[in-house]
Amino acid sequence: MTGNSGFELHNVSKRYGRQVVLSDISCTLPAGRHTALLGPSGCGKSTLLRLLAGLEPPDSGEVVQGGKLASTPEGMLIAPHKRGVGMVFQDLALWPNLSVLDNVRLGRSVSDARAREALAHCGIEPLAKRRPGELSGGEQQRAALARAIAAHPAFLFLDEPFAGLDWETKSALLEMISALARETGPTILLVSHDPAEVLALARYLIVLETGNIAEEGSIHDAINQPKTSAARHLRTYTLGLGRANPQEADQP
């Protein structure tokens, strides 16, 4: 495990051109608390994830990790690969000219043995020599996940990683990530629109709306007393599943 400290955002703002994506956000993401980031498209979920990962600096405010300043508008004080983060990108970002095994072991501090262990964990070791273009959608997701977990990160960032997958593949992957979170313990930060994914992987949620935090708290509280349409959607989904007692939603 690389590091074990949570993130804090202090008055963070970010804009693209004239569009303000995040506006004066402050929140805490402690280690061990699996969190879902919810909200409508374009509300800043992925941007928040990228700020935490160190892929972009904030325009104002600070990102703090483990009590140390990680990013400021002036630049990065902790490089992305030193934040103990593994990330599955929305488009998976697999390098197309490398084999699955090379995709996993190209990263720093990933030995051949660790790469094979990650592939085995994700159930795709037999596909190690194939290139991403030769894999199905579900296999590509597994390859991206293997790359993300190979260095045993403290945080696993998942940016809508299951979009476009059929239900069967998606539930197999959800089950696998849940098991991974239980066994090796990376803290999951999930960006998703799908209530099923949120309920399967997270215990805490942050709802973003027009660049601001509109709701924050445990999933249990959000389902019982929803304040935003995203939480209401989660409640409707939970009730539709027949969970009379939304307490069940508290279990990842």
| Nearer of residues 115 and 181 to other proteins, judged by Cβ | 115
- Please select the residue that binds other proteins; options are 12, 100, 145, 151, rule is CB under 8 A: 151
The gap between the terminal CA atoms of the chain, to the nearest Å, is: 21
Judged by CB under 8 A, which of 20, 27, 76, 176 binds other proteins?
A: 76
Please give the sequence-ordered ranges of beta strands (E in DSSP) within 18-165, or none if there are none. 19-29, 35-38, 60-65, 68-72, 75-76, 85-88, 155-159
Nearest-CA neighbor of 52 among 18, 100, 15, 14? 14
Residue 56 contacts other proteins per CB under 8 A = yes
3-state DSSP of 69-90: EEEECCEECCCHHHCCEEEECC
Instruction: Give me the phi and psi of 4, to 5 degrees please.
Output: -155, 40
Q: How far is the CB of 116 from other proteins (least distance, A)?
A: 16
Q: Is 54 in the site for other proteins (CB under 8 A)?
A: yes
Contact call for residue 62 and other proteins (CB under 8 A): no
Residue owning tokens 């924050």: 216
* 44 binds other proteins per the rule CB under 8 A: no
Q: Which is nearer to other proteins, 74 or 183 (CB)?
A: 74
Binding stretches for other proteins (CB under 8 A): 15-17, 50, 53-57, 59, 73-82, 85-87, 89-98, 102, 106-110, 147-148, 151
